Amino acid sequence: MTNFFITGGAGFIGSHVAKKILENKKGNAVLFDNLSVGKRRNIPEGCEFVEGDIRDKNTLIRTMKDADVVLHNAAFVSIRGSFEKLEEDVNTNCLGTLNVLKSAVNVGVKKLIFASSMAVYGEPRRLPVDETHPLEPVSPYGLSKVRGEMYCEIFKEKFGLAVTVLRYFNTYGTNQTESPYVGVMTTFINQALKKQPLTIFGDGEQTRDFVWVEDVANANLLAATKNVTGVYNVGSGIETSINQIADMIINKIGGKKTYSEGPKGEVKRIVADISKAKTALGYEPKGKLSELIPEIINWWKAKIEG
């Protein structure tokens, strides 16, 4: 029986990864989270939960000691917020990741999956973006993820730690916590449900690759259980504009759009080339925006009414 240790395990993606592990009977899961963003309600039944911070190496080592595989999803996740909270971004995403890597080597972990981001690419020189694209981040968050990937490579070379890097694109789904920095879909749905205008930065023609959280969770499971390492994009391979997302939500709930000046660190267009993940991991995204947006709206309706 494999013992999985998930940092950020009570968060949006981490909780779905844990659920996927249990549903597929792949082993036991220990969830490690400081609950700054993650919620206890997200923790799937059958998981062990440890409240702790990845910046605390002693707690990490003590609670990671029986782990076979670490799935490192804990992070300060915000492109816009990383400009305002630079110290938190560095402490969590760089020093925290170093602590996770050091702890994994210390206790003899066999494999580590690192959650990276499309933000490492910056403004793409070509589309779709494949894993060989230069890393040219335009935000502190993107830079911190590049550094995290570099630390992973150092630990792979120096200590023989088997590391797989997954570069997530714009993830959407249930269990996401509402905040000023969360995904655009969660923000738009909450604005529409509260009868507020949907706030679009820039002209709304900027595009993103929106990937269902269940597909991201499945990519983690594949990376953790297959005998492969390397760097992989995790997206849908479909380019969608912010205006299109807003219109889909308005068509379901009603409302109107409003536009404001675009923030720093945002790229104009990006979409993933996912052929490498398909070939090496057997990754096949199944989520379809048109089918899943109503499900997410209903989840938020129930949460707000509850």
Domains in the chain: ranges and CATH: 2-169+212-235+273-285 (3.40.50.720)
Please determine, for residue 26, whether its predicted confidence score (pLDDT) is greater than 80: yes
Question: What secondary structure letter does DSSP report for 92?
Answer: I
CA distances from 85 to 57, 97, 135, 282 (A): 22, 17, 22, 37
What integer is the mean pLDDT of 208-218? 98
Given the residues 121, 141, 151, 283, select the one marked as catalytic: 141
Nearest alpha-carbon partner for 245 in 215, 201, 275: 201
Q: State the Cα torsion 287-168-186-87 to the nearest 10°.
A: 170
Q: What is the pLDDT of residue 66?
A: 96
Mean pLDDT of all residues belonging to the chain: 95
pTM, two decimals, is: 0.97
Residue 171 has pLDDT above 80, yes or no: yes
Confidence class for position 180, pLDDT limits 50, 70, 90 = low
Is 141 a catalytic site residue?
yes
More confidently predicted of 206 and 304: 206
Is it the case that residue 294 has pLDDT exceeding 70? yes
Give the pLDDT of residue 181. 61
256 neighbors 250 (Cβ within 8 angstroms): yes
Q: Where are the alpha helices (DSSP H) in the chain?
A: 12-23, 57-64, 79-84, 86-90, 96-107, 140-159, 184-193, 213-225, 242-253, 275-281, 289-305
Helix (H, G, I), strand (E, B) or coil at 73: coil
Q: What is the mean pLDDT of residues 225-245?
A: 97
Q: Which residues contact 121 (CB under 8 A, 6 or more apart)?
A: 129, 133, 134, 135, 136, 137, 142, 267, 270
Whole-number Å distance between alpha carbons of 196 and 257: 9
List the beta bridge partners of residue 6: 31, 71
Give the tens place of pLDDT for each residue, 110-165.
Answer: 999 999 999 999 999 999 999 999 999 999 999 999 999 999 999 999 999 999 99
Task: Give pLDDT, residue 303.
Answer: 87
Q: Is the pLDDT of residue 54 over 70?
A: yes
| Residue 10, token pair as written in the block | 């009570």
